[in-house]
Structure 1
Amino acid sequence: MKFPVDIHTHRLPPVPGTAIANRYPDTFVPEEGAWYSVGIHPWHIPATVTPVVRNEMNVLASLAGHPQVLAIGEAGLDKLADAPMVVQIKVFEYQARLSVELDKPLVIHLVKAMSELLKLKQQIKPANPWIIHGFRGKAALAEECLRHGFYLSFGEKYQEEALRITPADRLFLETDESSVPVADLYSRAAEVRRVSLAELTEAIRENIAKVFFKQ
């Protein structure tokens, strides 16, 4: 079994199994040896919970238990998206509770909605990991997220101090939509954190084994 090193990408990884590819429910067609997250992104949610959205939620539920689906998401709360926050919250909560039911990590897209996210986390009280992907916030926001038990995943762009203060056992790296090779992200992150590449790689490998594979 090949362990992924890139926990979130919208691109096809060069080698199957080296990344967790994100798919929308209606585009999920698993390939042999590959890993996936599947979810409903807030940018794709209309102004109301229409029959189409309900159908997508049902399709997601039918796919989420697939053995190659390692995570649910990216679920999200985004105040810059077109959908009203009340609708985004309904779709997010559905995905969050599904991830709890299946004991799979939840990959979160978060834009200017920290208070709403914390309220939902308090209501749901998940035992499964919640991961804020593509984290670009400042160190103070990172500290708040970490206090509330979130994992943080960093991509190509981030605040270096936020990356530095994130404990090694709560850290992931991802390419998301970037064309920068994930190996380059690891090298740069090791430099920013002032640790060896081997130490950083092993720490994230342990996190991936624990969070995504229950090892």
Structure 2
Amino acid sequence: MIRNIHTHIPAKDAIRSFSFGEIHEAIHYDAPFSVGIHPWETNTMNCSVAEACLQLEQLLYRKNCFAVGECGLDKLRGASLKEQIEILSLQLALAEKTGKPVIIHCVKAFNELISLKKEWINVAMVVHGFRSKMQVAQMIIKQGIKLSFGTYLLSSPSIQEIYSILPDTETFLETDEQEPAEINKLIQFAAKLKNVSLEAFEKKIVQNTHTFFDVKL
């Protein structure tokens, strides 16, 4: 059962994210995981992007690998935006080839992300750790990109408002750098925002997660 779509800490009920720099650790990981070239790594890799993608592809065929990522675009860190777009495009091609969804890291580059989504219409995407504005959320959802919310949801009234009105089918929950056990607090809080029972909400979260990531455990 997976309820937490993005964590950097080992957890059996979550999808653990490995960056390319952690790929050798990912090879030996036997629980659900994702792997990708993080935008912060785009100017520090010790091999070519083509070689990195070959290594990623091998892992993406593993039964316990459920997504590409996190990968994406960040205007504040990493290589130039042009290079980041090229590297992300190669990973989107891998996602399409292997049938995996993509967990996206996006900072100040939502317009560029939407342009890429229009090119890769068949690739399922979810922006992790969403904390932008309502207008941005609606724009992203309209393009078929889903949103994941982390512990910022617990303290931000504006993010709470966004989350409360979005359809359950368009959203996920995650703990990112926080302890994976925090997912319990997030689920309880989110159920109250949605004004539904904890049992019903948790069942829906698991169902949506397993459907999107094609989880068969």
- Fold conserved between structures, TM > 0.5: yes
Partner Cα separation in structure 2 for residue 199 and residue 97 of structure 1:
36
Aligned to 1:193: 194
Say which of 27, 37, 60 aligns to 1:40: 37
Q: What is the Cα deviation at residue 82 of structure 1?
A: 3.0
Q: Does the CA-based 8 Å contact 2:27-2:59 persist in structure 1?
A: no
SS state at 2:152 partner: coil
Aligned to 1:97: 93
Aligned to 2:8: 10
Partner Cα separation in structure 2 for residue 212 and residue 120 of structure 1:
20
Partner Cα separation in structure 1 for residue 58 and residue 27 of structure 2:
13
Q: What is the Cα deviation at residue 105 of structure 1?
A: 0.8
Q: What is the Cα deviation at residue 214 of structure 1?
A: 6.2
The letter for the 1-side match of 2:8 is H
Partner Cα separation in structure 1 for residue 113 and residue 106 of structure 2:
8
Aligned to 2:29: 31
Seen in structure 2, the aligned counterparts of structure 1 residues 181 and 133 have a Cα distance that, compared at 3 Å, is same
Partner Cα separation in structure 2 for residue 125 and residue 39 of structure 1:
19
Say which of 122, 125, 130 aligns to 1:135: 130
TM-score by length of 2: 0.89
Aligned to 1:161: 161
Listed as ranges, the gaps of 5+ residues in structure 2 are: 154-158
The letter for the 2-side match of 1:45 is T
The letter for the 2-side match of 1:21 is R
Partner Cα separation in structure 2 for residue 156 and residue 87 of structure 1:
31
Partner Cα separation in structure 2 for residue 129 and residue 121 of structure 1:
9
Aligned to 1:175: 175
The alignment-based identity, stated in percent, is 34
Q: Does the CA-based 8 Å contact 1:155-1:176 persist in structure 2?
A: yes
Say which of 139, 143, 151 aligns to 1:148: 143
Could you list the runs of 4 or more consecutive aligned residues of structure 1 that deviate by over 4 angstroms after TM superposition?
none
Question: What is the root-mean-square deviation in Å for CA atoms of aligned residues?
Answer: 1.8
Q: What is the Cα deviation at residue 95 of structure 1?
A: 0.7
Q: Does the CA-based 8 Å contact 2:35-2:67 persist in structure 1?
A: yes
Question: Deviation per CA, 1:159-194, whole angstroms, max 9, x where unpaired?
Answer: 111111220111110000013621011011112222
Q: 1:85 and 2:81 equivalent?
A: yes
Say which structure, 1 or 2, has more relative contact order (CA 8 Å, 6+ apart).
Answer: 2
Q: What is the Cα deviation at residue 151 of structure 1?
A: 1.1
SS state at 1:184 partner: helix
Partner Cα separation in structure 1 for residue 79 and residue 15 of structure 2:
27
Partner Cα separation in structure 2 for residue 31 and residue 60 of structure 1:
14
TM-score by length of 1: 0.89
Aligned to 1:207: 208
The letter for the 1-side match of 2:149 is F
Q: Does the CA-based 8 Å contact 1:137-1:162 persist in structure 2?
A: no
